[in-house]
Chain A
Amino acid sequence: MRQDHLISATQLSRADIEAVLDRAAEIDADPSAWQGRHDGSILGLCFFEPSTRTRMSFDTAMKRLGGRTIDMGAVESSSVKKGETLADTMRVLEGYADALVLRHPSEGSAKMATEFVDVPLVNAGDGAGQHPTQTLLDLYTMRQNAGLDDVTVGIMGDLKYGRTVHSLASALTNFDIRQHFISPESLRLPRSVRYDLHESGAQVREHTGLGEVLGELDILYVTRIQRERFPDENEYLKVAGEYQISAEDLSAAKDSLTIMHPLPRVDEIASDVDETDHAKYFQQAHNGVPVRMALLDMLLSEEEAQ
């Protein structure tokens, strides 16, 4: 990978993606061989909003590479609470770490932060914008289960505010993939993502019901319909049930259907789906470590080479 930072899936070419996934597969095959590879390196974890999986998997990934992590802690107990700008916080923290991971509630925050730091910076989620490392582990999971070419993918749920969806939709345009987007009208993909899909010439269709397309899918990527996004509770209740799946609902699906979810889930995937061969969301979550190890290894190796 040539970039110093990973801000958006839109910056990733097919070659970039495959390089990370191949490195992750090497790590998966022999994790012990990578222990100590980045002894002495420090990764700064800058999480301006709550996170469990992403924060812990970055922490684990760095430690498995032999490095250490520093953590700015909760926003409530940091200088941010005193009114410090993000720009200043990042300028200070870059002096403490060899690379930084940033999660922030504002869209564009990671892009802005790169204008103030010289160490590699990874976007771990910027508001409803992008979440490119989630996308890399999503793609790794897809490649393990269905491949990344001549595949039909359905992405269902909150497509408007779901940053994992925005990153994934963009990255999938690098491959021979038919994309179906399933959501209530009020939670359709935002204009900017639709624009990018159109510009890339991607094969895209939109639906309001899963039943319209379920039988065609090789992969179903489910996200949570976020109740808090609806201005009217009744509007939420009208659509919520249509975007929940149980094992029974999958009778029309291919036997080989892979179901994914960035987690956490609430009620959009019933627990009886967990017992089926379709369920790959926990495998997907576990893949966060080797994929983030691969990415950090590449970014830090590039940094050391300079």
Chain B
Amino acid sequence: MSDTDRELRVSKIRNGTVIDHLAAGQALNVLALLGIDGSGGEGVSVGMNVPSDKLAKKDIVKVEDRELSQSEVDVLSVISPEATINIVREYEVIEKKRIERPEYVEDVLSCPNRNCITNAEEPIRTRFMVLDDGLRCDYCGEIVREDEVPSRLDVS
């Protein structure tokens, strides 16, 4: 059985984005990253711990009528570097791309250092430099390890 056949276990979408090959356990973090909690009425399918030839187990998130912003893709690259993004139109995958780790991610994470200036009421966005195994606040220098990233998602 191919990955594609397995994906069919999660309902196909007509138009939107399929985020595939997510590290197992990251699907809910991806929903948090995208600000999806069900209240917006989006059509969302989620597969968790789906068998995968490449990853043994993986998560899949399918979102109807939604494309990811670059900053969302950037954070995705940190919490799940193996993920792929498939753009779907009329049930067909028209574009399939691997994500690349960016140099910086902006405005999607909050700094865990409560005394960082980004946590004050100042007119600035957060900005984190992407390290090999985490992120670093560009203002105060605080380091956030990869496994801490989901808890720092600032999707408010």
Interface of A is mostly: mixed
B117 contacts A106, C-beta separation under 8 Å: yes
The listed residue with most A CB atoms (<10 A of its CB), out of B116, B121, B131, B141, is B141
Smallest Cβ distance from A192 to chain B, in angstroms?
4
Interface residues of B in 108-125 (CB under 8 A from A): 113, 115-118, 120-124
Contacts of A128 in B (CB 8 A): 115
Contacts of B136 in A (CB 8 A): 192, 195
A111 contacts B122, C-beta separation under 8 Å: no
A107 touching B115 in the complex, CB below 8 Å, given contacts A87-B124, A115-B124 = yes
Please, how many angstroms separate the alpha-carbon atoms of A8 and B113 in the complex? 18
Number of interface residues of B (CB under 8 A): 19
| 8 Å CB contact of A112 from B113, B121, B139 | B139
Interface residues of A in 175-195 (CB under 8 A from B): 191-192, 195
A85 touching B115 in the complex, CB below 8 Å, given contacts A108-B140, A129-B140 = no
Q: Does A127 contact B (CB under 8 A)?
A: yes
Number of interface residues of A (CB under 8 A): 20
Contacts of A107 in B (CB 8 A): 113, 115-117, 139-142
Please, how many angstroms separate the alpha-carbon atoms of A235 and B141 in the complex? 28
Q: Does A50 contact B (CB under 8 A)?
A: no
Q: Return the chain A residue nearest B136 by Cβ.
A: A192
Q: Return the chain B residue nearest A127 by Cβ.
A: B115
B122 contacts A87, C-beta separation under 8 Å: yes
Q: Does A109 contact B (CB under 8 A)?
A: yes
Contacts of A106 in B (CB 8 A): 115-117, 120, 140
The listed residue with most B CB atoms (<10 A of its CB), out of A107, A111, A112, A126, is A107
Q: Return the chain A residue nearest B145 by Cβ.
A: A191
A112 contacts B115, C-beta separation under 8 Å: no
Q: Return the chain B residue nearest A108 by Cβ.
A: B139
A85 touching B121 in the complex, CB below 8 Å, given contacts A106-B115, A107-B113, A127-B115 = yes
